[in-house]
Amino acid sequence: MQESHFLSDPIVIDAPPPLLLVVDDQPSNIQTLYAIFKDRYEVCMAVNSADALAFCARRTPDLILLDVVMPGMGGYALCALLKSDPRNCDIPIIFVTGNADPLDEVQGFEVGGVDFIAKPFHATVVRARVHTQLTLKRQADLLRMMALVDGLTGVANRRQFDTVLGSEWRRCGRSKQPLSLIMIDVDHFKRYNDRYGHQQGDVCLRAVAGAIKAAMRRPHDLAARYGGEEFACLLPDTALEGALMKAAEIEAAVRALALEHADAALGGIVTVSVGVAGIAAPRQLDETALVQAADAQLYRAKREGRARVCGASL
């Protein structure tokens, strides 16, 4: 989840400023908005809807200032498209328009906009409205984080995993893109708790979660605690071959922690068993089939001796 910031206080040192995306086909409007915000935010620009979509595929803005009337896809259609994508649906979008017709505003709110700014721009009003929406977004982000993050390990919890899995399954089905899932289980964790105690067991789980999370380098990959000593990694737009490479990286990263485990079957350190399943493009099945397939591969890894990766296509 991308962090946004309270705007009434100075930006925390080393924390990036909020990212604004200005989408407008008129260079003069872009220049005016850039001049208003450049000293406090990172401001990026797109001159049409296609460029805006490409930008949002690479980075997640904290807020979008969106022109209503543009050649090709207009602002309302672009807003509706962004709101239909789980990766971008929480970005507040403020429409920029020279039209004062209330019916236009109604349409903008219906497709997911949060506010309107009228042309010509009044700098104080524009700053105040952006400030308000970024503050609301930070509050909403904090609430979502509290509800969706595992309190022990700091990775996503099961609730967030289930939500993202469903949305990514549908998105990859629509776009005909692959989707892969990695299931990870800490080997002989009951033995670990019995010898070292539950407090040290918690320390172990946090360390393993940290190694898993560090391997998730793309912003849309998800590391989650699935339950107990079991973790899951969801890799959108990733075929089985790439997921197997990522799984091997995770297995090696946990092994490299060299956490003592005197009752482990292999090497006297904490290891993990890993199961991987991938599907070329979700179609008729539902997302539970991917979980079942990855789980089956996880149990295969355990049967074959643990501390290894097994995988198969769905």
H-run or E-run covering 44: strand 42-46
CA distance 80 to 108: 9
**Residues in Cβ contact with 129 at an 8 Å cutoff, skipping those fewer than 6 apart:** 94, 115, 117
**Residues in Cβ contact with 221 at an 8 Å cutoff, skipping those fewer than 6 apart:** 233, 234, 235, 236
CA distance 297 to 278: 11
Does the annotation count 105 as an active-site position?
no
Opening angle at CA 238, ends 182 and 290, nearest 5: 45
The encoded tokens of residue 63 equal 């807020």
CA distance 128 to 131: 5
CA distance 213 to 139: 24
CA distance 308 to 273: 5
Strand, coil or helix: 6 = coil
Opening angle at CA 58, ends 181 and 164, nearest 5: 35
Q: Which pairing describes strands 179-186 and 272-279: parallel, antiparallel, or unpaired?
A: antiparallel
Omega prior to 236 cis, within 30 of 0: no
| Catalytic-role residue among 229, 230, 251, 287 | 229
Closest CA to 301 of 165, 182, 193: 182
Closest CA to 148 of 174, 167, 129, 135: 167
Catalytic residue annotation: 229
